[in-house]
Structure formats: C-alpha cells, structure tokens
Amino acid sequence: MGLHFLVATEPPKIVPELTCTTGKGGHYRGTIAVTKSGKSCQSWTSQTPHKHNRTPENFPCKGLVENYCRNPDDEKATWCYTTDPETRWEYCNVPNCRYQPAAEDCMHCTGEDYRGKISITESGHTCQRWDSQKPHQHDYVLSILPEMNLEENYCRNPDGQPRPWCYTTDPSKRWEFCSIPRCTTEPPKIVPELTCTTGKGRHYRGTIAVTNSGKSCQSWTSQTPHKHSRIPGNYPSEGLVENYCRNPDDEKALWCYTTEPETRWEYCNVPNCRNQPAAEDCMTCRGEDYRGKISITESGHTCQRWDSQTPHKHDYVLSM
C-alpha cells in the first residue's frame, strides 16, 4: 500500500449558523450550552464527569469550543455531554431555522412593546407559561397585567428589564433573558416632556438632576458611587443622558442614583403637567412683581416657606 499524506490545504469553508440550525445542526456555532431538560453541558475538552473521544483534536472542524451544543458525529440533532454524572448526554433545544421568527418579530428599545412568539431563552431553556405556577411561582399573570400581553410562554418585558425575558421550565433556573433581534426600523417617536411629567414620567427629557431630598444625581454612564445596569446601552430609548432624572424601568415616578454613597437612589421632584401654572402665572422683567404660586426651583428643589427659619435662617419675612 502506498503512503498517505495529509494535504496542506484549508478544509472546506462552512457558513456558521449562530442562532438556529438547519438539518441536523452540523454547522451550528452558537452559544447555547444547556440540554432540552435544562442540564448544563460538559466542556468538550473535559473528561469529567464523562470520559469521551469527542474532543477538538479528534473532530477538528466541528467547532467543539467551550461547552456549546454541537453535532460532531452526525447525530439527529445538536447535543452535548452533561455535567450530571447520572446523565451522559442529551439533545439541545436549539431553534430550527425553518421556524425562526419573521422579520417583524423583533424589538425596539427595551422590548416593553414586544408581542412576538419567541419562547426560548438565550441559553436554550424553554419558557414557562405565564398562566402556570410550575415550576416557578410568580405574580406576572394576565389578570393583573392585562396590557402586557402575557400569552402562552412567549418572552415579554412586563417589569422594565433591559430586554424581554421569561421564567423557565427548568426548576433550577428561575428566569432568563431571551435573545430577541433588534428591529432595523426606527423606534416609535415620543413627544418629549421638558418641563413637567405625565403618568410615570417615561417621556420626561428635562434637565432636573436633584432628588426629592436635595441630593445630586449620579451620571447614568458612571458606576461611582453606585454600580448599576441602568446604562444607555441597556436602555437605548430612555434618554439616559448626563445625570438628569429619568424613569427607564417603569418605576412609579422619575428617579436617579445619587452621588451619596449611603443613598443608592431616590425619586425626583419634577412637576406634574396636570398641576402646571396657568398661562398668566408668569413674570415680566426680573419678576419683582411676580405673585404666582410656583414653589419649585429650576433644578427641582422644593422651596422653603418664607415664614420658616429651617433649614435656612434669613431676614426675608412678611412682617418686615
């Protein structure tokens, strides 16, 4: 028999499938690393708890990196060894490209208006139905939040998270974010409120940057003194600029993190549009003749009563 040599050419190129599979999933190169029943995958380079020969060296073109679900040996679907000593391997719950969401099944901003039908989390867990209390009990039900469209087991964002999520059917994994593609179209326009708020203040884009108690607001791009996830990258449509009071996560009113290490956050004192002064409540010249009823400063501080000497002592009293 003649000698056989490895040919020093590149292997055939594949088009990696990153979010879904076609056929048996041999081209899948995504990052789902959990089986259909919710077990974590064992790393392909590990021999614990299960010894095997599906290693990157033996299958050099099969994308056996980390512990991601793969199909190196032409099984009927993507799979992995598990970290459960009692379960050697299982198939994975990777979506099939034929059943991928339509182009319009996408999200704007933080996905609070998302009404699509994706029902698998970013690591491959199947979502628990919103009308079920098993395996996880919760209060996010359609009867309490009818406007959030909590149907079936579809990913939703009912509570101001950075993106849609769901409870999972894995008893050991209560909830997880979903991988919802971002829409390529422009998000719905809002009419920014610059001097006052309506409702919970989601549309406020003014410049008040002080809390109810007078504390200065921390910049949304800063992690000092308080670390947080309410950053412009996570809430791209919520106007998180400078340190201005905002409501990115559907709190009951506008708020901000404070610059005081002992106080993480507080609500802000932004006037409500329903209680705004009438058109005639205005000033001429320097306002020395102003007799209106505005009692909040330009940065949101509540005015001290003129007949009070607390917290500031002064001589500007009615009797003088």
Contact indicator for 123, 34 with CB cutoff of 8 Å: yes
Q: Which two tokens stand for residue 273?
A: 């549009």
* 197-251 pLDDT, tens digit each: 888 888 899 999 999 999 999 999 999 999 999 999 888 889 999 999 999 988 8
Could you give all domains of the chain from N- to C-terminal order, each with its CATH number?
12-98 (2.40.20.10), 101-185 (2.40.20.10), 190-278+292-320 (2.40.20.10)
Q: Measure Cα distances from 108 to 157, 163, 181 in Å.
A: 12, 9, 9
* ∠ CA 52-57-63, rounded to 5°: 90
Q: Measure Cα distances from 58 to 3, 44, 64 in Å.
A: 21, 11, 10
Q: What is the DSSP string of 286-300?
A: TSTT------B-TTS
Task: Report which residue type is found at 221.
Answer: T
* ∠ CA 268-271-274, rounded to 5°: 140
Q: In this predicted structure, what is the pLDDT of residue 277? A: 53
Q: Compute the distance between CA of residue 249 and CA of residue 254 in angstroms, rounded to an integer.
A: 10
* 38-73 pLDDT, tens digit each: 899 999 999 999 999 999 999 988 999 999 999 999
Q: What is the DSSP string of 126-185?
A: BBPPTT--SS---S--TTT-GGG---TT--B-TT--SS-EEEBS-TT--EEEB-PPBPSS
Q: In this predicted structure, what is the pLDDT of residue 289? A: 65
Q: Compute the distance between CA of residue 145 and CA of residue 159 in angstroms, rounded to an integer.
A: 10
**Which residues of the chain have a pLDDT value below 70?**
1-15, 98-104, 188, 274-281, 284-286, 288-289, 319-320
Contact indicator for 68, 32 with CB cutoff of 8 Å: yes
pTM: 0.52
Q: In this predicted structure, what is the pLDDT of residue 2? A: 37
